[in-house]
Amino acid sequence: MKCIGFIGKTNKTEITQYIGRLLKGLGNKVIVVDATESQKSRYTVPTILGTENQNQYVVQFDDIDIAVGFSNMLELKKYLLSKGEDFNEYDYVLVDTDIEEMIEEYDLKSANNLFFVSSYDKYDIVKGIELLRYVCAAKRRTDPEAVLNVERILYYSEVNSADSKYIDRFTESMPVEWTSIHRYPYDQGDLSANIQNQYSGKIDFRYLTKMYKDALASSVKVITGEDEASIKKVMKNVERNSGFSK
């Protein structure tokens, strides 16, 4: 089992679901944990009868599991056990959070991959870096010489000319090694696709822009080591299935 962490104040709900769906398409069992303050998944992911009023639940959404309302991994494990499910059967656990406490509770300092997600909005950058600083401090408590390897996901738009080096300046004194940058477009087309998926109750790639799909493929490649051609083939298969089920 591999734990993949996504930290930052920028909304990451859709991106973790897209990545989770691609991991599933590659033959993995996947659960996405919404450990954010807003718990957006509670309002956008379809529930099943009997779960809509529960504080904690796991629901299947387009072949991946979505966990909502769990304060730590132990609570999630106990819940799954009560349903006759084995947490250890998951190949990937994707944890989405914007809360310092959840970084500790889900031990994201030890995640197999850690993604820092931000737009160029100054609030998102500054607050996101506060979370990153928290992870670094947790890592250094166990190993004073440790360096945190972090992937960077940046949302951008054509009207925004801010330089990603702005983030470098904020983090230059931190024990962080930026391994790669994945740039996701933040334009009306992709925003519309995300909203359309909320109402259709599907994880549908068909209406995303090519640039968004390319960024997803590069992110999944980092996680799995699979070549991007194979990942894009999986994406095409998901698109075809979405078309048939329309």
Question: What pLDDT shows up at residue 244?
Answer: 56
Question: What pLDDT shows up at residue 189?
Answer: 79
Q: Which residues have C-beta within 8 Å of that of residue 171, sequence separation ≥ 6?
A: 129, 132
| Residue range 115-130, pLDDT digits in tens | 999 998 889 999 999 9
User: Along the 246 residues of the chain, how does pLDDT read in single tens digits?
Assistant: 999 999 999 999 999 999 999 999 999 999 999 999 999 999 999 886 566 678 999 999 999 999 999 999 999 999 999 999 999 999 999 999 999 999 999 999 999 999 999 998 889 999 999 999 999 999 999 999 999 999 999 988 755 556 667 888 889 999 999 999 999 987 777 888 888 888 888 899 999 999 999 999 999 999 999 999 999 999 999 888 876 554
Joined tokens for residue 206: 């068909």
> Which domains are present in the chain?
2-186 (3.40.50.300)
Question: What pLDDT shows up at residue 41?
Answer: 94
What phi and psi, each to the nearest 5 degrees, are found at residue 25?
-65, -25
Q: To 10 degrees, the CA torsion angle through 157, 200, 124, 163?
A: -20
CA nearest to 208, candidates 237, 184, 240: 184
Question: What pLDDT shows up at residue 58?
Answer: 95
Residue entry with tokens 């607050």: 127
Question: What pLDDT shows up at residue 158?
Answer: 57
Ramachandran area for residue 225 (φ above 0: left; ψ -120 to 50: alpha; else beta): left
Q: What is the DSSP string of 29-93?
A: -EEEEEESSS-THHHHSPP-TTTTT-SSEEEEETTEEEEES-SSHHHHHHHHHHTT--GGG-SEE
